[in-house]
Amino acid sequence: MMPDIVISVENLSKRYLIGHQTSQRERYTALRDVIGREASNFVRKAADLLHGRQIIQGDDVEEFWALQRVSFEVKQGEVVGIIGRNGAGKSTLLKILSRITDPTAGKVRLRGRVGSLLEVGTGFHPELTGRENIVLNGAILGMTRREIRRKFDEIVAFAGLEKFIDTPVKRYSTGMYTRLAFAVAAHLEPEILVIDEVLAVGDIEFQRKCLGKMSEIAKAGRTILFVSHNEAALRKLCTHGIVLCGGRASPKQNIAATLDAYLSQAGSGLAYSWTRTSWTNQPTVRFESIAASLDGAQPTMRLQCSCIIVSEQKAPLSLIAVDVADVNGFPIMQAFPSTEPFIGGAPGRQKVEVTIDLPPLIPGIYSADFWIGPHNTETFDFLRTAIKFEIIDSPVRGRTFPHTRDHGSIVPNSMAYVRTNKDTSVTNAFGPVAS
């Protein structure tokens, strides 16, 4: 083990046994079958008990590998973001690293004290006051009494709860509760900090405070493993990243590359057409199908949409809107091709062609929502992410370094001028992108 490597994970695997209740899928069951099954279940469970095995609910047992041969190394002072969809194994990995559960195979070496923050307010007791809970939670997270006493005022001030510190936490609002809990955790000072999704709580102001505190911790040279779905937080805090997918880990890379790889993977399954498949909660005027295509060349791309719209009965004239969002669903723009209602209200089917001029978008995956209604306050039909399209070329010609989401979604037609002292004439040094 190299001296500056503080976490080394080798071929880590974790298996869980899960049971399925196949019997519940059958619609009709005879009493005889039920008795027979219960009897065999009982025999099996009794045998499990005698052999000291785990009892599994259900009559069908399956192995599930939450982690498969995961290996990586983390150096001192690195902040590593762990990214992956729900069920990818992130929490299992953190649980093994924080010694809550044992791996099935593989090895982890940790150099230094590990503080884990898998949940905000672990062990908080509703009947106890804020003051008592700080002591309790601090001890649970591994602080000594002296450490807690030293940081007590700081914790209370960070949470902003000076007035309520002697009130039982069951009288706290959810926000106050999480603030207090995070405040305790933020003052933990282990060499390795393991954090799971804790920024999803509290208001914006408090989230910012938490992020600030975490980057402070990171700057102090501590090693942090951080699981989050918050792209902005990951980008801001982490130096490196690992993508987990189905229990397998990608190699460790810098955070921007990791996020781009993950986001393009998450956005795969581009959809240039959409057709209605479900008929529940049917609006009177609705989209039947949409076909979209990109044309033009960067930086003036157009999204051509051909929409089939159906009116069940006579309805007021409607108008259409298209929202474009980035791969995270963050809205970029809204297009109203016409400000006046123009789509005929007579019953029947009609085709509407919509052309949307796209701004100079950086390469990546984007989605479009479609809306139809008689007025901006009334909706007939609203389709979220009906279309997913990909921009491949950069809007900037001859750009030598690749675009990432760090640079925003839109490249403006910016210009720069250089003025030298000798010559007052103006030169176009970095011309606008050609149009």
Partner 1 sequence: MFQEIVIEAGRAERHYWRDLWRYRELFRVLARRDVAVRYKQTVIGAAWAIIRPFLTMVIFTAIFGKLANLPSEGTAPYAIMVFAGMLPWTFFSSALADASGSLVGNANLISKVYFPRLIVPMAAVGVAFVDFSINFVMLVGLMVWYHFVPGWQIVLLPAFVGLGLFAGLGPGLWLTALNVKYRDFRYVIPFLVQLGLYVSPVGYSTSIVPEKWRLLYSLNPVVGVIDGFRWCILGGESELYLPGFLFGICVTVFLMWLGIRQFRKMETSFADLL
Rule CB under 8 A: which residues touch partner 1?
16, 49, 54-55, 95-114, 116, 118-119, 122-123, 125, 127-128, 132, 135-136, 139-142, 144-145, 168, 191
Distances (CA, A) of 111 to 106, 116, 251, 426: 17, 14, 21, 59
Cβ-based nearer residue to partner 1, 123 or 212: 123
> Which residue, 71 or 122, is less far from partner 1 as judged by CB?
122
Residue 11 or 376 with smaller CB distance to partner 1: 11
- How would you label 262-293 residue by residue, b for 16+ Cβ within 10 Å and e otherwise? bbeebbeeeeeebebeeeeeebebbbeebebe
Report, in Å, the least distance between residue 99 CB and partner 1: 4
> What gap in Å lies between CA 48 and CA 56, rounded to an integer?
9
The 8-class DSSP code of residue 398 comes to T
82 contacts 14 by C-beta, under 8 angstroms = no
Least separation in angstroms between residue 1's CB and partner 1 is 8
Q: What are the angstrom distances between the C-alpha of 99 and each of 14, 17, 70, 164?
A: 13, 20, 16, 34
CB 88, CB 244: distance < 8 Å: yes
Which amino acid does the sequence have at 202?
G
> Among 50, 65, 52, which residue's Cα sits nearest to residue 18?
65
Residues 353, 359: Cα–Cα separation, whole Å: 19
Residue placing its CB nearer to partner 1 in the complex, 102 or 423: 102
Query: Minimum CB separation from partner 1 for residue 236, in Å?
Result: 26
Query: Quick one: 95 or 151, whose CB is closer to partner 1?
Result: 95
Closest approach of partner 1 to the CB of residue 364, in Å: 37
- Which is nearest to 168 in space by CA: 124, 119, 123? 124
Q: Distance (Å, rounded) from C-alpha 133 to C-alpha 184?
A: 9
Looking at the Cβ atoms of 9 and 327, the one nearer to partner 1 is 9
Cβ-contact 174, 203 below 8 angstroms: no
As measured in angstroms, the least distance from the Cβ of 189 to partner 1 is: 13
Least distance to partner 1 from the beta carbon of 108, Å? Answer: 4
- Judged by beta carbon, residue 249 or residue 354, the one nearer partner 1 is 249
Whose Cβ is closer to partner 1: residue 116's or residue 409's? 116
Sign of CA dihedral 191, 196, 197, 198: negative
CA 435 from centroid of its chain's CA atoms? 37
**Residue nearer to partner 1 on the CB measure, 125 or 248:** 125
Read off the amino acid at residue 374.
P
Chain centroid to CA 404: 18
Residue 167 or 379 having the CB closest to partner 1: 167
Burial class (CB within 10 angstroms; exposed 0-12, middle 13-18, buried 19+) of 409:
buried
Nearest to 115 by CA among 90, 87, 144, 88: 144
Closest distance of CB 225 from partner 1, Å: 14
Instruction: Give me the least distance between CB of 401 and partner 1, in Å please.
Output: 39
Residue 52: CB minimum distance to partner 1, A: 8
Indicate the residue among 185 and 352 with the shorter CB distance to partner 1. 185
Q: Rounded to the nearest 5°, which phi and psi values hold at 228?
A: -160, 160
